[in-house]
Chain A
Amino acid sequence: MSASNSPPGRVDPDVPGTAEKRKPRFWLRRLRRISQFTFLGLFLFLLFQSEFRGSFSRGAADTVRLDYPVSIFLELDPLVAFSTALSTHALYGNVIWALLLIAGTIVIGRFFCGWVCPMGTINHLFSSYKPERKGKRRVDANRYKKWMSIKYYLLFALIAMALLTSMQAGLLDPIPFLVRSLAVSILPGISFGLRTGLDFLYGTNIASLQWLADAGYRVFGTSLLSIKPQYYYFGFVLGAVFLAVAVLNRFVTRFWCRGVCPLGALLGLLSRWSIFGMEKNHSRCDDCNRCLLHCQGACDPQGKVPWRQAECHLCMNCEAACPEDVIRFRFFPKTEAINPLPDLRRRRALESVAAGMVVLPLVRASTGLAKDYHAGVIRPPGSVDETDFLARCLRCGECMKVCPTNAIQPALFESGLEGLWTPMLKMRVGYCEYSCVLCSQVCPTGAIWKITEAEKLGKAAAGDGSAAGRKTAGPVKIGTAFYDQGRCLRGVLPDFAEGDLGPGGDRGAPRRRHGHGPAPPG
Chain B
Amino acid sequence: MMEESSSRRDFLIRSGRVGAGVAVACGLGFWLRERSRHPGRELTASQVRSYRIDIPDDVPRMVVATGGTPEALAAAALAPLGGMGRFVARGDVVVLKPNIGWDRVPQQAANTNPDLVKALVELCFQAGAKKVVVTDVSCNDPRRCFQRSGIARAAEAAGATVLLPEERKFRDYRLNGELLSVWPVYTPILEADKIINVPVVKHHNLSRVTIGMKNWYGILGGRRNQLHQNIDVGIADLATFVRPTLTVLDAYRVLVANGPQGGNLNDVRLVKTVVAGVDPVAIDALGASFLGLRPEQIPYIRIGHERGLGNMNYAELQVKHVSLE
Contact = CB atoms under 8 A, between A and B. Distances in A.
B171 to A, nearest CB: 9
A386 interface: no
A58 interface: yes
A217 B166 CA distance: 10
Contacts of A57: 153, 156
Contact of A64 (B106, B148, B169, B208): B148
B244 to A, nearest CB: 24
Given A433-B103, A509-B229, A512-B205, A60 B114 contact: yes
Interface string A66-81: 0000000000000000
B168 A202 contact: yes
Contacts of B106: 60
A62 B143 CA distance: 13
Contacts of A509: 206, 228-231
A129 interface: no
B263 interface: yes
Considering residues B114, B143, B162, which has the most beta carbons from chain A within 10 angstroms of its beta carbon? B143
B168 A58 contact: no
A434 B148 CA distance: 12
Interface residues of B, number: 33
Given A56-B152, A508-B229, A508-B230, A433 B168 contact: no
B229 A436 contact: no
B105 A61 contact: yes
Contacts of A56: 146-147, 152-153, 156, 162
B168 A213 contact: yes
A399 to B, nearest CB: 15
B295 interface: no
Interface string A190-224: 00000100110011000000000100010000000
Nearest to B140: A433
Q: Which of A56, A433, A434 has the most CB of B within 10 A?
A: A56
B164 interface: yes
Contacts of B168: 198-199, 202-203, 213, 217
Contacts of A58: 147, 152-153
Interface in A417-455: 433-436
Contacts of B231: 509
B210 to A, nearest CB: 14
A508 B103 CA distance: 29
B167 interface: yes
A199 B167 contact: yes
A275 interface: no
Q: How large is the interface on A (under 10, 10 to 19, 20 to 34, 35 or more residues)?
A: 20 to 34
A213 to B, nearest CB: 7
B229 A507 contact: yes
A202 B187 CA distance: 13
B162 A405 contact: no
A510 B206 contact: yes
B34 to A, nearest CB: 23
B173 to A, nearest CB: 15
Contacts of A202: 168-169
A435 B146 CA distance: 14
B280 interface: no
Interface stretch (A47-55, A92-100, A144-152, A239-247): A47-55
Given A57-B156, A59-B150, A433 B205 contact: no
Contacts of A62: 147
A198 B169 CA distance: 12
A64 B229 contact: no
Given A404-B141, A510-B206, A54 B164 contact: yes
A216 B289 CA distance: 48
B131 interface: no
Contact of A228 (B103, B114, B156, B167): B167
B245 interface: no
Contacts of B141: 52, 404-405, 433, 436
A171 interface: no
A434 B150 contact: no
A179 to B, nearest CB: 22
A227 interface: yes
Contact of A54 (B114, B144, B206, B230): B144
Contacts of A433: 103, 140-141, 144
Contacts of A52: 141, 143-144
Contacts of B164: 54
A62 B105 CA distance: 10
A214 to B, nearest CB: 9
B103 A435 contact: yes
A64 B140 contact: no
A512 B228 CA distance: 14
Given A60-B150, A199-B168, A510-B206, A54 B103 contact: no
Contacts of B152: 54, 56, 58
Contacts of A60: 105-106, 114, 147-150, 153
Contacts of A59: 147, 150, 153
B170 to A, nearest CB: 10
Contact of B103 (A53, A195, A434): A434
A123 B62 CA distance: 69
Nearest to A436: B144
Q: Identify which of A53, A59, A62, A509 gathers the most chain B CB atoms within 10 Å of its CB.
A: A59
A512 B169 CA distance: 37
Given A56-B152, A404-B143, 19 more contacts: A52-B143, A55-B147, A57-B156, A60-B106, A60-B153, A199-B168, A202-B169, A203-B168, A227-B143, A229-B167, A405-B141, A434-B140, A435-B103, A436-B103, A507-B229, A508-B232, A509-B206, A509-B229, A512-B205
11 contacts: A54-B142, A54-B143, A55-B147, A64-B147, A202-B168, A202-B169, A217-B166, A436-B141, A509-B231, A510-B206, A510-B208
What are the 8 closest A-B residue pairs judged by CB atoms, nearest first?
A54-B143, A60-B150, A56-B152, A404-B141, A202-B168, A60-B105, A199-B168, A56-B156
Interface of A: 52-62, 64, 195, 198-199, 202-203, 213, 217, 227-229, 404-405, 433-436, 507-510, 512
